[in-house]
Structure 1
């Protein structure tokens, strides 16, 4: 009796993909990786039903590219994936291991997956010792995703604290986002134009629409502070009319 792979099914549903659409994404990833595959709706059904507990490496590499999750985190049996293979002319296949001109193995291709460019709601929390209370900082930020790098900047007038622009410089490694943040507080605000900066690390959920994690930074007395930080996708478009629409102070999320 087989055990259904409920983890993989949950990831697919979280990505809002039908079984047909998941199969198409896997085929597209295979093409991009230089090793085409024949993923089908029936194959996705067999993975979810548990009939296949360990997909072939060509499928696992494509699956990891689509979901940004490793095989074991997709509910499959853990395996050590061999490197992708290409034909001698570099056009794809499974006969000759990819190598550089000097004979050394070439680096593994960068993970594919979602482009995180778009307008996001940035929401962090911090404790003010001088006011003995916890406060929120909210910004509408524009993310631009290039390769494994993300840069972000708050839109004009789009801060819960007026004139407090925020910037982020991030690196993406599968579903882990790590980098730095900088915020320039308003001259007329409580912090009187102080500039704060620190580090941030976030995890991307399987839908690619939410990043949650923690920030760390120094306080006024050079003590190390930390707190939760969340980025929530609002609109994937970066068109001018969309940016104008979000160039307003954000509202506090219902869950805050």
Structure 2
């Protein structure tokens, strides 16, 4: 009997999603066959490896690499067909052993499959607090995953007491998108949720993105400030994420 997938369930609950919500988000992310029943079978451990199409949607929705979502084995890239749909979810080692890569399709490397920007980054933004009459810096270690021109960014839970999500679109050296942040109920902002838009320019090295955010304040005013994403590590393994799952050091005065 397979062990339940506690990691996937924890990530789903951390996103405040029901099984129905996750299935709906997966369909919106390009996996039309995703259903509540499929999510239940994943979480029960009945299906230990999702089909490639579902794996990509899971990474896009959760912002976490598939290896961190509690599945027993890597997604068999060999099952990706020319149209990208892949085969059925793998339910047994016997089924996995039957996956054969067509000779005309070379198996992509992890770097090619994930994209050049995927990895752990430091997110750092500045904002003015009218209630505290001062400027502050918000920092998170985040997991960035690239799917073609789409970049999904999700904060590591131990790096801050707030949860940060950013969805970006890459256009040459410019990235544009939206951000949202759910603050902790125990924080100064008492669980408030903030959101807005963001636009960044990619440094020629590809290891820094710098630009500005825009968002609404509690006085119905429009606020803005600088925002940087700074590359830390190309790995998104469980061990690497664990090493960054802590608050970032305070920035030095010249940063």
TM-score by length of 2: 0.54
1:139 aligns with 2:140: yes
Counterpart position of 2:111:
none
Secondary structure of residue in 1 paired with 2:156: strand
Q: Deviations over 1:44-89 (max 9, x none)?
A: xxxxxxxxxxxxxxxxxxxxxxxxxxxxxxxxxxxxxxxxxxxxxx
Counterpart position of 2:183:
185
Q: Distance in 1 between matches of 2:123 and 2:220?
A: 25
Q: Deviations over 1:75-119 (max 9, x none)?
A: xxxxxxxxxxxxxxxxxxxxxxxxxxxxxxxxxxxxxxx611000
Counterpart position of 2:207:
209
The structure number with the bigger radius of gyration is 1
CA shift, 1:131, in A, is: 1.1
Counterpart position of 2:157:
156
Counterpart position of 1:111:
none
Counterpart position of 2:72:
none
- Out of 239, 244, 247, the position equivalent to 2:245 is 247
Q: Deviations over 1:7-55 (max 9, x none)?
A: xxxxxxxxxxxxxxxxxxxxxxxxxxxxxxxxxxxxxxxxxxxxxxxxx
CA shift, 1:182, in A, is: 0.4
Counterpart position of 2:118:
117
Please state which structure has a larger fraction of its residues in helix. Answer: 2
Q: Distance in 1 between matches of 2:154 and 2:145?
A: 9
Q: Deviations over 1:125-182 (max 9, x none)?
A: 00011111000000000000000000010012112xx2x0000000000110000000
CA shift, 1:253, in A, is: 2.6
Counterpart position of 1:196:
194
Q: Distance in 2 between matches of 1:133 and 1:209?
A: 30
CA shift, 1:239, in A, is: 1.0
Structure 1 residue ranges, 4+ long, deviating more than 4 angstroms after superposition:
none
In structure 1, the gaps of 5 or more residues are 1-113
Aligned counterparts, 1:22-33, within 5 A: none
Q: Distance in 1 between matches of 2:250 and 2:119?
A: 20
TM-score by length of 1: 0.54
CA-atom RMSD in angstroms = 0.9
Q: Distance in 2 between matches of 1:155 and 1:170?
A: 18
Q: Distance in 2 between matches of 1:176 and 1:218?
A: 23
Secondary structure of residue in 2 paired with 1:157: helix
Counterpart position of 1:60:
none
